[in-house]
Chains A and B, each alone.
Chain A
């Protein structure tokens, strides 16, 4: 066991950039386990709608007979009561519906439990693009941490305590000035919510879209002159250097985050199909 421990350490860990697959699957499982609850909720809602629709249809098509049934003591009808009941929802359709509902639930669970690997391999090109873009984003964020900084240390404090927050903010802004040498003063003035975060919605959290500076357009212009035409500002993000300290971590983040987007697209579509089928 000591040997395998040592081997794994030397093979899987000591080689830079060789991240154990299990680290990613662990992080991936962290979010896929959160998918069953919304899936079941969605299916339950859809089943309710289905029940509702079926009951309305039964009323439209067989309503006349249920009235007859109510009045059956007054009028002798040749139609047998038992035959009616078997046709009516409760007797005949219901067990079938329940069977279908169970099958839909099983299908949803099966879809959620799909193996991780096929989603990579079947969408390799999309995956590569996505992970590249996320890696650029994370590298860029590490280059310019000031752009992404929250200006209060207590983001969940309500509006009633505005003054203390302002004080803390000032302190924090001051304390950052020593470390973020590359962050310009403009970048420090990213607006931050005063209201409790819960009510704000996540749009408040997205980093302000950086304006395309003239230096970037100039760079693109000179690159085009040098023969590197057809590039966009997004392509410049690829030039962010590897992070010397946390490159493996950034790669894992990018892989897992890209996988999320891919799996979200693949499985939500599959899930919808499973419910319909």
Chain B
């Protein structure tokens, strides 16, 4: 008997109506959370933090052009404005100096019949 008294009160309405009401309330709450209009802003806030991280990750992939013959001896030229500086550079980004870029240009020119755009048309 003690255990039974700890149970919630029995439903006053028709169980089916009760369930539908709850489903509808659940959907409203969910919609509010997703759109950020409800009192629960946690989803929006937590996601914003992830977007910030994502943007940081992407900024970290900015090409590392250093317009010199020996680029490793120079600092990266990252900041045009302070906003687009790479905070932590993705370690798969290669440093590219003038000779590396020249090589890329030449490679794109020397074998045009085998370029990617040509191969797609074959």
Binding site for B on A (CB under 8 A): 1, 4-5, 8-9, 12-13, 19-20, 22-23, 26-27, 30-31, 34-35, 38-39, 41-42, 45-46, 49-50, 53-54, 57-58, 60-62, 64, 67-68, 71, 74-75, 78-79, 83-84, 87, 130, 133-134, 137-139, 141-142, 145, 148-150, 153, 172, 201-203, 205-207, 243, 245-246, 248-250, 252-253, 256-257, 260-261, 264, 267-268, 271-272, 275
Inter-subunit contact A252/B67 (CB<8 Å)? no
Q: Determine which of B59, B67, B77 lies in contact with A246 in the assembled complex, contact meaning CB atoms within 8 Å.
A: B67
Inter-subunit contact B68/A141 (CB<8 Å)? yes
Q: How many residues on B have C-beta within 8 angstroms of the other chain's C-beta atoms?
A: 70
Question: Whose C-beta in chain B lies nearest to the C-beta of A243?
Answer: B67
Inter-subunit contact A49/B46 (CB<8 Å)? yes
Inter-subunit contact B23/A87 (CB<8 Å)? yes
Q: Determine which of A26, A42, A249, A261 lies in contact with B108 in the assembled complex, contact meaning CB atoms within 8 Å.
A: A26
Binding site for A on B (CB under 8 A): 3-4, 7-8, 11, 15, 19, 22-23, 25-26, 29-30, 33, 40, 42-43, 46-47, 50-51, 53-55, 57-59, 61-63, 65-68, 72-80, 84-90, 92-94, 96, 98, 101-102, 104-113, 115-117
Inter-subunit contact B117/A22 (CB<8 Å)? yes
Inter-subunit contact B79/A19 (CB<8 Å)? no
CA distance A62 to B111 in the complex (A): 65
B30: chain A residues at CB < 8 Å are 54, 57
A22: chain B residues at CB < 8 Å are 108, 112, 115-117
A46: chain B residues at CB < 8 Å are 47, 50
Chain B facing A: main interface SS: helix
A50: chain B residues at CB < 8 Å are 43
Inter-subunit contact A57/B84 (CB<8 Å)? no
CA distance A249 to B108 in the complex (A): 13
B102: chain A residues at CB < 8 Å are 246, 248-249
CA distance A246 to B96 in the complex (A): 13
20 A-B pairs in the complex with CB atoms less than 8 angstroms apart? A1-B113, A5-B111, A20-B108, A27-B63, A41-B57, A46-B50, A53-B42, A57-B29, A61-B29, A138-B65, A148-B66, A149-B74, A150-B72, A205-B76, A246-B67, A249-B101, A253-B65, A260-B62, A267-B58, A271-B54
CA distance A142 to B89 in the complex (A): 23
Q: Quick one: given A20-B109, A57-B26, A61-B29, are A71 and B3 in contact (CB under 8 Å)? A: yes
Inter-subunit contact B75/A207 (CB<8 Å)? yes
CA distance A5 to B50 in the complex (A): 49
Inter-subunit contact A9/B101 (CB<8 Å)? no
A275: chain B residues at CB < 8 Å are 47
A98 vs chain B, min Cβ distance (A):
16
Inter-subunit contact B63/A13 (CB<8 Å)? no
B39 vs chain A, min Cβ distance (A):
13
Query: Closest 9 CB pairs between A and B?
Result: A38-B57, A42-B54, A23-B108, A22-B108, A253-B65, A61-B26, A138-B67, A8-B112, A34-B61
Inter-subunit contact B7/A67 (CB<8 Å)? yes
CA distance A46 to B52 in the complex (A): 12
CA distance A27 to B102 in the complex (A): 11
